[in-house]
Amino acid sequence: MNELIAIFIGMALINNFILVRYLGLCPFFGVSKKVGNAVSMGIAVTFVMSIASLATWLIHHYILLPFDIEYMYIIIYILVIASLVQIIELFIKRTNLALYNAFGIYLPLITTNCAVLGVTFINMVENYSLLGSIVSALGAGLGFTLVLFIMSNIRERLELADSPKSMKGLPIAFLIAVLLGLAFFGFGGMI
Amino acid sequence: MGKFGKEFAKGLILSNPVFILALGLCPTLAVSTSIGNALGMTLAVVIVLLGSNIIISAIRNIVPNMMRIPIFIVIIATLVTVVDLIFQANFPDLHQSLGIFLPLVVVNCIILGRAEAFASKNPIVYSIADALGITVGFMLALLMISFLRQILGTGSLSLSVFGIDINFFTLPILREHPMVIFILPPGAFLLIGLLLGLFRRMGVMKSE
């Protein structure tokens, strides 16, 4: 149990995907202009990460390892994630239209989101157990959502701020990421 | 040859993948801690991008439109696997320091973006020019950032990759008191933000 908590806090705060591991920067700067969109994107990413971690762990341990074809992992993982995203999209569209309208449009973007593929690679490199993989994906996703939520709140106010013309938009967003990153260093000594 | 040159040149500044299109930010920030890592990443990207642009351009007329994205992804993933294995065998140190960012080249938006936007619509020769131009643009951006990060963060500039080991110079005071923050993630964000602002101020890029 302690180990799982350590994995969770480590993935969510100490090694935050966006601010420490440089993963998922495209949605971080692209979808963080409105709070609602940012939270939907974060939840969608967390959901896909958890299911992808479960699926890739099973495939890794029951197909790749027994047949000794671990070197195929890049191709297999990306195909699994791409098909999973398609299935989830279809499933949500059929069963819950309100949910689909809320974050359905973000699902196709997630296929090429390096955070999702990144968490499956990290699970493989760190050799986590099945439960550990899912917990690490949940931690990574929630940490991602948290940072996206903070960032979008700041950026909504930033629209009204009087920043220099050449710094408006992306450049000033990077400078805010600096301050957030420094703040997250405070979590460094937690475990 | 005129069009070849034009397709090559546009990748350098006009559609520089990092600064103008803001694509491939994750690997740019992650591997720009030293110029050696930057060059290693560039080599990986050039092999994959050149290969994928050539293959996709060659098969562009027989790929069914609906199936094109999965086909592109499989082609790119295969090339990334090849590069991953080559690096692992020949440059184990580089493979170690690039870490998961080497396999993550597969989801680098630059590569799929060029396949979709350019190679699937243009003949092979121009696709090669496009791949080379985009890679050189990527390399320039990476080198610029890693040059500054390495000097400010370690106080010296040295290149050690592919078995080369050169120490260019060491700055006296910065060497004893390096600004370590520039090696860490916030320093990368700071540099990119300031560079983007500077380019907009100079008029190289459009402001929003």
**CB contact (8 A) between residue A79 and residue B70:** yes
Evaluate if pTM is beyond 0.90: no
CA A140, CA A116: separation in Å to the nearest integer? 9
Q: Is the pLDDT of residue B1 over 70?
A: no
Test the A interface: residue of B108, B189, B200 with most A CBs within 10 Å: B189
Quick one: pLDDT at residue B13? 66
Question: What token pair was written down for A86?
Answer: 């398609």
pLDDT at B35 exceeding the cut of 70: yes
Of B25, B74, B207, the CB nearest to A165: B207
Q: How far is A97 from chain B (nearest CA, A)?
A: 24
Domain contains B207: no
Q: Counting beta carbons within 10 angstroms of the beta carbon of residue B99, is it exposed (0 to 12), middle (13 to 18) or buried (19 or more)?
A: middle
pLDDT of B206: 62
For residue A45, the Cα-to-chain-centroid distance in whole angstroms is 5
Q: Do A169 and B192 touch (CB under 8 A)?
A: no
Q: pLDDT category, B78, cuts 50, 70, 90?
A: very high
Chain A CB contacts of B87 under 8 Å are: none
Contact B184 A168 (CB under 8 A): no
Contact B207 A166 (CB under 8 A): yes
- Say if residues A134 and A47 touch (Cβ distance below 8 Å): no
Per-residue pLDDT at B11 exceeds 70: no
Average of per-residue pLDDT values in chain A: 84
B208 within some domain: no
The chain B residue lying nearest A169, using CA atoms, is B208
Q: What residues of B are in contact with residue A121 (Cβ under 8 Å)?
A: 100, 103-104
pLDDT tens-digit readout, B104-138: 888 877 888 788 777 778 888 888 888 888 888 88
CB A19 to CB B185 under 8 A? yes
Counting the structural domains of chain B, the total is 1
Query: How big is chain B by its Cα radius of gyration, in Å?
Result: 18
Q: Which of A72, A170, A179, A180 to mutate to test the interface with B (most CBs of B within 10 A)?
A: A170
Per the CB < 8 Å rule, is B26 touching A23? yes
Domain hosting B184: range is: 2-202
Please report residues of A whose CB lies closer than 8 A to that of B30: 21-22
For B161, the token pair is 């990759």
pLDDT digits (tens, 9 = 90+) for B14-24: 667 667 666 67
For residue B157, what are the β-bridge partners?
Answer: B169
What are the DSSP calls for B128-153, one per residue? HHHHHHHHHHHHHHHHHHHHHHHHHH
Residue A35 vs residue B48, higher pLDDT: B48
Q: Residue B149 falls within a domain, yes or no?
A: yes
CA neighbor of B17 nearest in space, from B100, B132, B125, B95:
B132
Q: How far is B106 from chain A (nearest CA, A)?
A: 8
A174 to chain B, minimum CA–CA distance in Å?
A: 5
pLDDT at B204: 64
The answer on pLDDT for B25 being more than 80 is: no
Among A152, A141, A154, A143, which Cα is nearest to A43's? Answer: A141
Q: Which of A30-34, A71-75, A147-151, B67-71 has the lowest mean pLDDT?
A: A30-34
φ, ψ for residue A66 (rounded to 5)? -60, -35
- How large is the average pLDDT for residues A103-114? 71
Is B197's CB within 8 Å of A125's CB? no
Residue A167 and residue A165: Cα distance in Å, rounded?
5
Contact B81 A72 (CB under 8 A): yes
Residues A65-76 as b/e (b if ≥16 CB within 10 A, e otherwise) read: eeeeeeeebbbb
Residues in chain A with CB shorter than 8 Å from the CB of B108 are: 114
Residue A25 burial (CB < 10 Å; 0-12/13-18/19+)?
buried
| Contact (CB, 8 A) for B102 and B44 | yes
Contact A131, A4 (CB under 8 A): yes
| CB within 8 Å: B29 and A122 | no
Residue of chain B with shortest Cα separation from A71: B81
Nearest CB among B77, B185, B200 relative to A20 is that of B185
Q: Give the separation between CA B128 and CA B39, rounded to whole angstroms.
A: 20
Q: Which of A79, A112, A177 sits opposite B189 (nearest CB)?
A: A177
**Cα B122 vs. chain centroid, distance in angstroms?**
22
Which residue of B23, B106, B187 is in closest CB contact with A78? B106
* Virtual torsion, Cα A154, B21, B75, A108, nearest 10 deg: 40
d(CA B193, CA B190): 5
A111-139 pLDDT tens trace:
777 888 888 888 888 888 888 899 999 99
pLDDT exceeds 60 at position B208: no
Measured between beta carbons, which residues in chain A are less than 8 angstroms from residue B208? 168-170
User: Who contacts B23 (Cβ-Cβ below 8 Å, separation ≥6)?
Assistant: A26, B17, B108, B109, B110, B113
**% of chain B residues with pLDDT over 90:** 5
